Amino acid sequence: MLKKLLGIAPNLEADGSYSPSKLALKLATVDNTDFENVSYTKYHGSKSKILVIFTEQKNMKMQNGKLFSTGNHPVETLVPMLHLKNAGFDFEIATPTGKPVVLEMWAFPEKDEQVKSLYNEYKSSFERPKNLQDFAATSLSAQESYAAVFVPGGHGAMLGIPEDKNVRKILNWAHEKELFTVTLCHGPAALLATTLNDQKFLYAGYNMAVFPHSVDKMTPKIGYLPGQVPWELSEKLASLGATIVNTKADKTVCLDRKLITGASPLAANELGKLAAETLLKELK
């Protein structure tokens, strides 16, 4: 009752999961993003496609058994996509089994007209995405059409994606064909898929920005999460040999070889700019 009065009680949803408290939403979400409408020299070559890997799972079971209502974060998804679209790239939307994309709609920036416009443009693709298994079976031979793989963040990126053998195939394909891999916040959980079948972590020795577990550990205090996360993403990546370049959930972005990463939702605009500029420079 006291937590409700203070606005720090997570909100109970109809399916029994919890979304962030009033205070957490006030502190951690925005009505308008900081998207910069950069005028890029558009890419017109053959490598115009970007595969975007989304989660199809909504609820994360916390250590205390409560369910967190998650998915992919809309700002972390749509702001980088806006930059890449403005730079001349198009997207193929995919989930592990072709079920609809799940977004954290409680974090949607309702007053941001450019974000809303892009969301509406791809809404049908979010509702009927490609199946990753089909993509892995049929499209890996068409690397000449692709520039990058993008995995948006949100805690939902920790659900199913790190254990998906098709994600492993696709990340290895991107690495071998020298495509870029772009991800931010909790999205780097996808990189763990490269360790499936007892394989060496593909990104050992890489610098990367990722949402710090130290911050995840603190957020239940304001009701952002209804409990502690089931496992520690940044610590897991570090234990496998990644060098985490940020200590805060801030605007940090990082480019190391063909891997482009960002630290948090606050980094979405900077990540989008870095990805667009890097791809345009590389694909000249």
Q: Number of folded domains in the chain?
A: 1
For residues 224 and 67, the answer to whether their CB atoms sit within 8 Å is no
Whether 273 is covered by a domain: the verdict is yes
Distance, in Å, from the CA atom of 78 to the CA atom of 195, rounded to the nearest integer, reads 28
Give phi and psi for 147, each to the nearest 5: -105, -30
Q: What pLDDT, on a 0 to 100 scale, did the predictor assign at position 3? A: 58
Is 0.85 topped by the overall pTM? yes
Whether 188 is covered by a domain: the verdict is yes
Question: Minimal CA–CA distance to 55: which of 127, 157, 130?
Answer: 157
Each residue's pLDDT tens digit in the chain (284 positions)?
545 655 789 999 999 999 999 999 999 999 999 999 999 999 999 999 999 999 999 999 999 999 999 999 999 999 999 999 999 999 999 999 999 999 999 999 999 999 999 999 999 999 999 999 999 999 888 778 999 999 999 999 999 999 999 999 999 999 999 999 999 999 999 999 999 999 999 999 999 999 999 999 999 999 999 999 999 999 999 999 999 999 999 999 999 999 999 999 999 999 999 999 999 999 98
Whether 165 is covered by a domain: the verdict is yes
Whether 49 is covered by a domain: the verdict is yes
Whether 1 is covered by a domain: the verdict is no
Whether 137 is covered by a domain: the verdict is no
Question: In one letter, which amino acid is 240?
Answer: L
Question: In one letter, which amino acid is 3?
Answer: K
In 10 A of CB 16, how many CB atoms? 10
Active site residues: 185
Whether 136 is covered by a domain: the verdict is no
Query: Domain holding 155: CATH number?
Result: 3.40.50.880
In 10 A of CB 236, how many CB atoms? 20
Whether 266 is covered by a domain: the verdict is yes
Q: In whole angstroms, how large is the CA radius of gyration of the chain?
A: 18
Structural domain harbouring 185: 13-131+145-282
Q: What pLDDT, on a 0 to 100 scale, did the predictor assign at position 139? A: 86
Strands (E) located in the chain: 11-12, 18-19, 49-53, 59-61, 67-69, 90-95, 130-131, 146-151, 180-184, 207-208, 243-244, 253-256, 259-262
